[in-house]
Structure 1
Amino acid sequence: MSQHSSFVFSTTALRSLQLDEDMLERHKRQRRVASHQLTGYMLKKEAKSNQLLASGTSTAPEVCQDLVTQNALYTGDLEALRKLFPKGSRANFIIEPRGGDMRWVARGEGLWSLSYEQELTTPLHITAGRGFADCLRLLLQRGADVELAPGRSTALHEACESCQPECIKLLLSHGANANTVSEDGLMPLHVCTIPESLECARQLLQYGAAINGRSVDEEDTPLHVAARNGLPEHTDLYLRYGAAVDRRNDEELTPLNAACAHPQEVHELQRYHRVCQLLLAAGAEVGTLDQDKRTPLHMACKQANADVVDLLLANGACVNDMDYGGEAPMHNILKVVCYKISHQPERVVRSLLNHGSIRVWPGALPMVLKHCCGSPRTMEVLLNAYSRLKVTDAWVEAVPPEVFKEHQDFYESLFSLAQTPRSLQHLARCRIRVYLEGRLLKVVPKLPLPTFIKNYLLLQFRGYVH
C-alpha cells in the first residue's frame, strides 16, 4: 500500500503505513470466514431454518472468488453455467467481487486508508438483478438459497430494484419470502419505487406480500412509497388490494401527506396529481397534520403543484390553517416562487386568493417583490388582491435591472402606480370580491356576465396592473 493512498492524522500513524502482508492476508481470511454473518439476525435465522429443513445441515455457504464463474454469472452465459454447475452440484455460495467503490477504511489508530469497498453478493443476486431468467432458473434447480443475503438484502430485493418481474416470479415460485426484510428494514414492496416496477409489485402481491407491511425505520407502508414517488398505477393497485389510506408513518405522514410533500419536477406534476386524486377518492383525509402541523395543502403549495392545490381546495382543504411556525399555505408558495417559476406558481397564488386566503401585510410587499420579481404573473395576481398600493422607491429598488428589462411592460405599469390610483374597474372588482367572500367560486361562474368579466373577477392574468 502506497503512502499516496492513505490519509494520515498523526505522525505516529505515518510509521504504520508499511503494513505486514501476513496481516493483510489474515484480514482477508477473517472476512471470508465471517462473510456469512454479515446479514441481519432475523434474515440469518430464517435462512438457517430453511437450510435445516431442506438438507438437515446448517453449514454456511463458501466464498467464491473464481473469475471464470463470476464472468459467466455477470454475462448471463447459460452454457458456461451448465458446465460449471452440472446436475447434482450445488450453486449455493457467496461471491466477493473485485473492485467496487473507493472509501476510507480505518487501518489502525490514527490511520485511514483509501481502499476498494467490497460488496458481497450471490449468484442469485447477480442473475436476478440483471434479468438473466434462464440462468436464474438453473441456479435455483441447483439448490441456490433464495433467502441468502450477504450484502444486506435478498435476491428478491435485487430483482425488485432492477424491475425484473420474470425473475421475481421465479424466486417466489421457488420459495422466496415475499415479506422478507432487508438489513435496511425494507420489504420487497418497499423497493418498488419507479413506474417500471408495477409488474414486480403485482407479482409480490399475488404471492402474499403484506399490503400494509411497514419499513423498520420510517414505518412506511407500500402505499407511502408509491405516493411519495408519484406512482399512480402502484397506488391504484395497492388500494385495490386493501391498502390503509390514512396509515401514518413515524413522521406522522399519511400517503396523501407524503405525496404532497415530496419534491416534484415539472414533468412529474401530473403523476402526483393523479396519485392525490386516487387517494382522495379512496377516502383520504384532506386535512391530516404532520408532526409540524402542516397539512397536505401546505406541502402542495411548497412544491408549487397547482393542480394538486386546486384538488385539495375543491375537497375542503382549509386555506388558512397555520402550522407550528405560524405560516399559512400562502407563505409556503411565496417562499418558493423564485425556485419554481416553471411550475407556474401564479396559479397557486390565484387559487389560494380565490378561496379566501389571507393576504400579505402591505408593508411586506417590497420584500415579497424582491423574492418573487422573476415571476411577474405571481406579483400581478397577488397585487390585484389589494384596492390600494403604496408604491415607493423601495419597490423599484427591489427589482434588479436585468429582471426589469426582461419584464419591462409589467414593471412599468406597476411603478406608474406611484403617482396614479388604481383604476375604477379594479376598485369595482375588489368591492365585488369582498362582497362575495367565501362564495366567490360558487357565485361568479353562475353570474350572467361575459366570460372575460368573470375571469377578471377571478384574477385572470393580463400582463399588467392598472
Structure 2
Amino acid sequence: MSRSLSSCPSPSRASRWRPVELKGGQGHGAAWRRRGLQEPLLECRDMVVQNALYTGNLPEVQRLFSERAEVNLLIESRSHDLRWTSHKWGLWALTYEQELTSPLHITAARGYLDCLRHLLLRGGDVDLAPGGETALHVACTAATTDCVRLLLSFGADPGATSERGFQPLHLCRSPASLECAQLLLRSGADVNAASEEEEDTPLHVAARLGLAEHVRLLLRHGASLESRNAEGQTPLNAACAQPHPPPASDAYQEVCRQLLDAGACVDAADGDRQRPLHHACKTADARLVALLLAHGAAVNIMTYSGNTALHNILQVAAYKPEHRPELVVRELLNHGAIRVWPGALLKVLRHCCACPRAVEALLNCYDRVPVTEEWIEAVPDELVQQHPRFFRSLFSLGRSPRALQHLVRCALRSHLEERLPRGLIALPLPPPLRDFLLLRFEDVLY
C-alpha cells in the first residue's frame, strides 16, 4: 500500500476493509456510537496498516492516516490465549481468542504516544470500544502513563464501563500503573465504583494484589474501608484471602497495616462468616496473622463451617512448608486459641506430620498426650528418618510422663490464657525462660 487511505480508489479500499454492522443498544455497541458515529465502521484487513500500528512506525502512520482518512477502523487481532469453539456439526476446535481492536487501542496499549496523538488529532473516537474496552482501559492495563494522560486530555471518559464491568481504575493492577490511577482520580474517576459482576471497588483490587502504594493513594482519595463485594468481602478480607508466596508477605503486610491503621474492622465477616484472621491462616502468612492479632482480632471465632483460625492453619500446614506454618500455629496458641480436643490429636498428627514443628507447638500446650501404637503407625517411615529426634521423643510420651519443666509451663500458660503475651511483658523473666513459655521450637518434646 503506497498511498494514503484517503487517496485509495474505491475497489482497492474495499479489498482492504469491509463495513461492520454494530449490534445492541447497550454495552460496547452503544460505546461505538457514543461520538455520534452513524455509519457502519470499517474493518481493516490491510497488513501494511496493521504493521505500521503494531510497530509504532510514526512516518507510516502519518502517511496512511491523513487528514481525510478514516481512523476509527476495526482490526481483528489474535491473542496468545486459546479457547475451545464449537462448530455447527458438533465438532470442537482449539483456536486462538479473536478480538476486535482499533488503531487507538493498539497504539495506546503499546505506548506509542506520537502515533496515538496523530490518530486523535485526525478524529479518532477516544471512547470507541470495539472489543468491549476503550483505549483508556487498555492503556491502564498496560500502564502506559503518557498515553493515559493524552487520552484524558482528549476527553476520554474515566468512568467508562467495559463489557466485563470494569472501569479504568479497576485495571490499574501493576506497580507501574500508580500514576495512571492518580491521573484517573484527578480526572474525576469514582474511587468507590464497583465492578459489575464481582462488585469489587478499586480498593478491593489493589488490596488483593498487594499494591501498597495504590492502597495509600485510594485511601487518600476517600476509598471506603467497609465496602462489600459480591462475596461479602471488605478490602481487608480480600487482601488476607489472596494466596501469595513468602517473598510477597512484606507487601501484603503493608497493605493490611494501612487498612487497619485507617480504621478497617479487623473482624469483618464475609458471606461465609470468615474473618481476615481465618483467611490469613489459610494463606499461612505468619506475619499477617501476628499483625491481625496485634490489632485485636478474635482468635476463636468460628466460620459457618465451624472452623476456627487454628483449624484453618492445621488444614493447610502440610501443603505450605515454605510459609513456615508452625509460626502461625504458635502465634495463635500464644494468643489464647482453644486447643484441639485430645481425642482428635491423632487425626492432626496424620494430617500434619510433614510439618513436625506445627505438631510440636500444638502438643506443647498439653500436660499429657495420649500416644498409642496408632500414633507410631500414623507417621510414614521416611518422615521418621528425616526427623528422628522429634518423632522418637513423641513416641516415648506413651511410656513416660512429661517433664516437670514442661508441666510448669503448661500451668503458667493455662493461668494466663489469652493474656499470655501481655502478661509476660510484666514478668521480669530472663529471655530464654520467656521464649520457653512462648513455645520456642526445640525439635524435641519433653
Same fold by TM-score greater than 0.5: yes
Q: Is the 8 A contact 2:394 2:445 kept in 1?
A: yes
2:150 to 170, 181, 184: 170
Q: Write the distance in 1 (CA, Å) between the matches of 2:81 and 2:274.
A: 40
Aligned residues: percent identity? 52
Corresponding residue for residue 401 of structure 1: 381
Distance across 1 between alignment mates of 2:433 and 2:223: 46
Amino acid at match of 2:48: V
Alignment of 1:59-74 (within 5 A): 59-74=39-54
**Could you tell me how far apart the structure 2 residues matched to 1:99 and 1:457 are?**
58
Change (3 A) 1:231 1:386: same
Q: Distance in 1 between matches of 2:397 and 2:209?
A: 46
**Contact 2:108–2:138 (CA<8 Å) still a contact in 1?**
yes
Q: Using the alignment, how far apart are the partners of 2:33 and 2:266 within structure 1?
A: 46
Q: Which residue of 2 aligns with 1:377?
A: 357
CA–CA separation in structure 2 for the residues paired with 1:440 and 1:115: 60
- Please give the alpha-carbon distance, in whole angstroms, between the structure 2 residues aligned to 1:309 and 1:340: 15
Partner of 1:253: 233
* Alignment of 1:45 onto 2:25: no
**Aligned-residue RMSD, C-alpha:** 1.9
Per-residue CA distance 1:137-183 (angstroms, 9 max, x = gap): 11111111111111121111111111111111111111111110010
Question: Do the aligned residues in 2 keep the contact of 1:319 with 1:356 (CA within 8 Å)?
Answer: yes
Structure 1 position 463, deviation (Å): 1.7
**Counterpart Cα distance in 2 of 1:318 and 1:107:** 55
The answer for the alignment partner of 1:4 in structure 2 is none
Mapped to 2, the partners of 1:101 and 1:213 lie a distance apart of 29
> Which of 324, 330, 341 does residue 361 from structure 1 map onto?
341
Aligned residue in 1 for 2:12: none
Supply the AA of the counterpart residue of 2:116. L
The letter for the 1-side match of 2:141 is: E
Contact kept in structure 2, 1:251 and 1:291, CA below 8 Å:
yes
* 1:209 equivalenced with 2:189 (yes/no): yes
Q: Verify the 8 A CA contact 1:91 1:123 in the aligned structure 2.
A: yes
Distance in 1 between residues matched to 2:18 and 2:302, nearest whole Å = 57
Question: Unaligned regions of 5+ residues in structure 2, if any?
Answer: 1-14
Is the contact made by 2:67 and 2:122 (CA closer than 8 Å) also made in structure 1?
A: yes
**Residue 37 of structure 1 contacts residue 150 of structure 1 at CA under 8 Å; is this kept in 2?**
no
Distance 2:79 2:219 in 1: 43
Q: Is the 8 A contact 1:100 1:118 kept in 2?
A: no
Distance in 2 between residues matched to 1:388 and 1:99, nearest whole Å: 62
Which consecutive unaligned segments of at least 5 residues does structure 1 have?
1-28
1:44 positional shift: 3.4
In the other structure, the counterpart of 1:343 is 323
1:127 corresponds, among 100, 104, 107, to 107
- Report the Cα distance in structure 1 between the residues aligned to 2:324 and 2:294, rounded to whole angstroms: 19
CA deviation after TM superposition for structure 1 residue 403, in Å: 1.2
Partner of 2:426: 446
Match of 1:274 in 2: 254
Alignment check: 8 A CA contact 2:28 2:130 kept: no
1:97 to partner: Cα distance: 3.3
Local SS of the residue matching 2:333: helix
How far is the alpha carbon of 1:267 from its aligned partner?
A: 1.4
* Matched-pair contact (CA < 8 Å) for 1:99–1:118: yes
